[in-house]
Amino acid sequence: MGKIYTRIGDRGKTSLLGGKRVLKSDLRVEAYGTIDELNSVIGVVLSNKYQVLSIKKELIKIQNDLLDVGSALASPQGVALRSLKKRVKEFEDFIDEMTAQMPKLSNFILPGGGKAGAMLHLARAVCRRAERRAAELNNKQKIDKDIIAYLNRFSDLLFTMARFTNFKGKKREIIWRGT
């Protein structure tokens, strides 16, 4: 295997899929870089000892999805991801399944609970940023519209996973009291 470093990016540029050189501050690089960050946060979540098995299995599938999403965003030609619509529906089904097992949420809650729940809330916040970056990129250069829907529903899923993990682990959620 060759060296991990290339020195090509030492002057603040990087290559997109297809070879086009852009600044590392380019909106497209920011979008797929945030997806990479989100995938890394999911890795941290998965490293937690306490994890609901169904959530763990889903998060591993999502990590694979995120590599596909990042690759699509790194392509200035645009790549349509056929599986994203199906995945959005799967997310909705999983959200409904977990929600049916928990007490009804009638207040805003503060991110936290147990360690796994808090990490899932952090992943949700990074997911929302990834969604904003993808939406901003889409305003300037069209991307697969399903990416934005996927990220939107994924953030809902992460919120529900955080609540479900806290519920199953008997970790108390704190109600937001406002000012």
pLDDT tens, residue by residue, 52-80: 788 999 999 999 999 999 999 998 876 77
Which pLDDT band, with edges at 50, 70 and 90, does 99 fall under? very high
Which pLDDT band, with edges at 50, 70 and 90, does 151 fall under? very high
Beta strand ranges found along the chain (DSSP E): 13-15, 21-23
Dist. CA 124–CA 14, nearest whole Å: 28
Q: What domains does the chain contain, in order, with CATH numbers?
A: 19-100+108-168 (1.20.1200.10)
Dist. CA 158–CA 23, nearest whole Å: 32
The 10 Å Cβ neighbour count of residue 65 is 17
Dist. CA 124–CA 152, nearest whole Å: 10
Report which of residues 95 and 77 the model is more confident about. Answer: 95
pLDDT on residue 22: 67
pTM of the complete model beyond 0.85: yes
Please name the amino acid found at residue 159. Answer: F
91 and 63 Cβ atoms separated by less than 8 Å: no
